[in-house]
Structure 1
Amino acid sequence: MWKLLIADDEPRIRRGLKKSLNWEELDIEVIGEAEDGEMAFLMAKELQPDIMFVDINMPFLNGLQLIQKLNSILPNCIVIIITGYDEFSYVQQAIKFQVFDYLLKPVDSEELQKIVKKAIAKLESSKSKAKYIEWMDAQLKQNLHTVRTNLLNRWMKGKISYEEVENQFEFLKLNIHGQLGIFIIKLSDKSNIESFINQWDKKLLLFGVQNIVEELVQEYTPNVIFKDTEDRLVGIVSITSTINWVGLSNILYNALKKYLGIETIINQKTIEESLGSIPELYQQMIKDIEKVEEYNPVVLAAKRYIDTYYYKQDLTLGEVADKIQVSQAYLSKLLKRELGHSFVDYLTKVRVEKAIQFMNDPTIKIYEVAEQVGYNTQHYFSTAFKKVMGVSPIGYRGGKGF
């Protein structure tokens, strides 16, 4: 039932209003009467009426003051003014406070019934709209993940513009901004994955991968994690710590290996341009991953070891060969053939790429960057950096504007 509260300082008027209509037939319950404005406000706050009859001339708090206060706590309550004052100034103020209707005393029962039925119709319409909005909200929450993933995949494939995606960011809770990084995780080692799927299910495996990744990137907020159309996991994250960000791919790889027993290929890049450049960067990263997938297993293992331990100042070809149990000569030959680089050149390339990520943070000094990527002197680092990039670390930073 709808709830009605009557506020009038005259007992006779209150009694007359209660008896004027068959409230039960109208599905209305009279939940209370108030003899002054303050009492009416307190009762309305507690009882939450759907409809209120309000007299303008009441003690302590007049009707218009009461309505103004009610608007802040009961914005959906329908207020009908019932008063003996037939002055245009009151009507003006009543309209300003969004009063539903205005009746003069003595109240005509037929007129009152007509207004009350109109009020009920509005309440029912509002209730239906509220239920529809609630249903839509529930549907959105239930399907938000799917809708968001579809939108992001269309963006990654260049099917929609960044402007179209940006317009949906708030609606789809895609809160990404600031210094950003992107990583892509591709499941590798087909035999291990097939073994896992035989016991469980591919969807379950991917769900496990995503759960572990989301747990590990919690500190990188805001972030967006989604699966692309080829079941690769894509993460776009806010970089809060450059040092942590540079080491993230190793953390993700080791965690997925430890907890799920699977091999993965992880490509990670800092987004150095605008958000609109992400699809192009994503496409290039996918090409890089596809190239890596074609490598000989020995090369892949060596590459992974170098990518993980590049920061060791004494990392050698012999150490890598020993770890993957092949001869140095054989490994050197494979690296040159498939990577197009000797061991030393590839290690230098990896160190310089990592150094560039560190150098995107202007608070990290050049000598600190050198130490982070495995060089014991800034001079040695500068020589290696210039050989790869054609410019010194200081010149590179100057070109970036810091």
Structure 2
Amino acid sequence: MWKIAIIDDERQVLKGMKRAIPWDDLGAEWVGEALNGEDGLEMIRNTRPDIVITDLYMPVMSGMDMMEQLRKDGFQGKIIIFSGYSDFEHARLALRFQVSDYVSKPISLPTLKSILNKVIQELEEEEEKRVRQWELEFKMTLYEPFVEKEWVRSVAVGTLDHAYKDSTRLPPSYLYWQERKHVTIGIELIRDERARCLSVSDWNLFRFAVSNIACEVAHKLFPDTEYTELHSTRGLLIIHPGSEHLEQLEDKLEELGIRLNDSIVGYLKLMTRIGIGGVKDTWTKLSDSTEEAFRAMDQRALRVASAHEVYMYRENISSEPGNVALFPVKFSYKLATAIKVSQEVEAHQLVLEYIMEMKKQEGLSEGYVQMLGSELWGIITYSLYESGLVLDDLFTNDQIAKEISSLIVPDQLASWLMDKITKICNSRQWKGSSKHRQVVDFMTSYIHEHYADELTLADLSDKVFISRNHLSIIFKNITGETFNNYLTRVRIEKARELLMERNMLVYEVAERVGYKNIPYFSTLFKKITGMNPTELIKN
């Protein structure tokens, strides 16, 4: 109900106004009245009406003085002036106090109703605007953690705008970066025969598992670390060491690289390659360490242990022909980002620049060109999957494999890639789902962080302001899975990791991932993994 207060020095006017206003039709209620500006001011301060109807000429305090004081107090309500004098000067002065209307007495009932309808419509529009603003601010608080994660990734790959590269623009959570040194460790999952059989959806779960393993292993040696995913098969640990001497630090980094390699192989049966970048004195040079980490892998620069694919970057090791970085991190990240937001022209330009750079190498073999095509297609495929588009409906795996096998020279590779990018960006499926991608990105990230909670689709529908039924359709269309199936797979994957650590009993693991009914948990576990929890532990 909209609250209306009336101030006039004539009692008959007050009574007549209260009788004449169609309260129910307007959805309004009377909250107070006064015979002069001073009493009116006190009454308004106590009742906080939405609309004030006031005369100008009153004893003790005039309507003009009362309005001036109200605005000084911060009163935001609407003010309508009903005066027995058509005084232009007073009307002009009243504009200073954001008056909604200035009407001469006497006033007809239709005119009164029309004025109040107009003012109430203004109030409703302002209220709707405030609600939208509140919803926007609320959504921003929900997305803030993801914005910070994107900031970390931009720093690590070198795409952060130059204007943000100073200490005053650091997010509050990362102010400690100013006092530390920094080094990155690149993690690349190797596409061996087993890995090539994995679906893109399975890759997503494995990457989630790798991030958990990497953070857990790293925290045992370096308390201050962050992890960020790059694209396709690559991830990155950002380490902020303490005051160790360089030799001691390098020994710890080598140990971390070996532990990462062993842990990922042991828990996930995925082969990995680890690269350790150079130590930097300032966070603005983190991207240099990232490029060095992956360059160390590509060049096989300095292998720290013969039984592990862990490589340490060294400045004095020269690059041999054919051993330059296959995919500079910044290029790969920019290409993935351009594909995600359907920037066809930018993606074409990135591909052309990259192929021109690769053509500078002498003696590129047919097999090398096809290997580049396969890896670049992997970057595109995974970046699209992250955004909710599975390419099976546009291109089959057999079709892509056949086309890649026909590529012989770099120019053919460039033409093939640009043709595929154009078809993807112009596809109805991509355009139709683009407006919902951000919502599903938020949902999947939220699931990965809160899988152990009592999580329902209704909970998330409240957070993204979309009805539960509509959200269910959006999620299924973009991910190819129902919300419950996706949540179950994430929980079971985490349960599998915990069981393989052999530190917890089956019922403890079940509760840790959100299941109180142990038989039901065991049934789901066997359905997804092919064995029950106790069989996994024994094996």
**What is the TM-score when the length of structure 2 is the normalising length?**
0.40
Query: 1:145-184 to 2 correspondence within 5 Å?
Result: 145-146=145-146, 162=162, 183-184=183-184
Deviation at 1:25, TM superposition (A): 1.0
What does residue 507 of structure 2 align with?
Answer: none
CA distance in 2, matches of 1:142, 1:209: 25
Letter in 1 for 2:230: D
Match of 2:101 in 1: 101
Tell me the residue number matched to 1:296.
Answer: 303
The aligned runs of 1:193-208 (5 Å cut-off) are 202-203=207-208, 206=211
User: Distance between the aligned counterparts of 1:136 and 1:39, measured in 2?
Assistant: 40
In structure 2, the CA distance between the partners of 1:7 and 1:227, relative to structure 1 (3 Å rule), is farther
Residue deviations 1:110-150, cap 9 Å, x none?
Answer: 22211111111111212222222233333333344446656
- Contact residue 149 and residue 228 of structure 1 kept, 8 A: no
Q: Bigger radius of gyration, 1 or 2?
A: 1
Call closer, same or farther: CA 1:202–1:65 in 2, change over 3 Å.
farther
Q: CA RMSD in A?
A: 5.5
CA distance in 2, matches of 1:144, 1:13: 55
- What does 1:229-308 align with in structure 2 at a 5 Å threshold? 229=231, 232-233=235-236, 267=277, 268-271=279-282, 281=288, 284-288=291-295, 290=297, 295-298=302-305
- Once the two structures are superposed, residues 344-384 of structure 1 have per-residue CA deviations (whole angstroms, 9 ceiling, x without a partner) of xxxxxxxxxxxxxxxxxxxxxxxxxxxxxxxxxxxxxxxxx
**Residue pairs, 1:2-401, within 5 angstroms:** 2-59=2-59, 61-71=61-71, 76-146=76-146, 162=162, 183-187=183-187, 202-203=207-208, 206=211, 227-229=229-231, 232-233=235-236, 267=277, 268-271=279-282, 281=288, 284-288=291-295, 290=297, 295-298=302-305
2:55–2:83 contact (8 Å) kept in structure 1: yes
* Maintained 8 Å contact 1:50/1:78: yes
Stretch moving more, 114-123 or 150-159: 150-159
How many residues of Structure 1 are paired with residues of Structure 2 in the alignment?
Answer: 287
> For residues 124 and 227 of structure 1, do their structure 2 counterparts lie closer, same or farther at Cα, with a shift above 3 Å needed?
same
Q: How far apart, in 2, do the equivalents of 1:226 and 1:85 lie?
A: 71
Is the CA contact 1:57–1:63 (under 8 Å) kept in the aligned structure 2? Answer: yes
Distance 1:72 1:51, change over 3 A: same
Q: CA separation in 2, counterparts of 1:40 and 1:242?
A: 66
AA at the equivalent of 1:7: I
Q: Which runs of 5+ in 2 are unaligned?
A: 196-201, 266-273, 319-539
What one-letter code is carried by the residue in structure 2 that aligns with 1:290? M
Q: Write 1 or 2 for the structure with the bigger share of helix.
A: 2
Contact 1:210 1:233 in 2 (8 A): no
Identity of aligned residues (%): 20
Shift of 1:24: 0.9
The alpha-carbon distance between structure 1 residues 48 and 243, as it changes in their structure 2 partners (threshold 3 A), is: farther
Change over 3 Å in CA distance of 1:38–1:158 after alignment to 2: same
User: Which blocks of at least 5 consecutive residues in structure 1 are unaligned?
Assistant: 219-223, 308-334, 342-402
Which residue pairs with 1:398 in the alignment?
A: none
Residue 322 of structure 1 corresponds to which residue in structure 2? none
Secondary structure of 1:82 counterpart: strand
Contact 2:227 2:235 in 1 (8 A): no
Q: Secondary structure at the match of 1:232?
A: strand
Kept in 2: contact 1:8–1:55 (CA 8 A) = yes
Partners in 2 of 1:296 and 1:236 — Cα distance?
20
More deviation in 262-271 or 6-15? 262-271
Q: How big is each residue's C-alpha offset from its partner over 1:167-218, in whole Å with a ceiling of 9 and x where there is no partner?
A: xx99x9799899586543434899xxx9xx99x96425526866997x9559
SS at match of 2:116: helix
- Report the AA paired with residue 136 of structure 1: L
How many angstroms does 1:17 deviate by? 1.6
- For the residue of structure 2 that corresponds to 1:86, the secondary structure is coil
User: How far has the Cα of 1:87 moved from its partner?
Assistant: 2.2
Q: Following the alignment from structure 1 to structure 2, what is the Cα–Cα distance between the partners of residues 157 and 84? A: 71
Measure, in 1, the Cα distance between the counterparts of 2:103 and 2:147. 50
> Residues 8 and 36 of structure 2 are in contact (CA less than 8 Å); yes or no, is this contact kept in structure 1?
yes
- Measured in 2, the distance between the counterparts of 1:81 and 1:44 equals 15
CA contact (8 A) 1:179 1:271 kept: yes
State the alpha-carbon separation in 2 of the partners of residues 60 and 236 from structure 1: 72
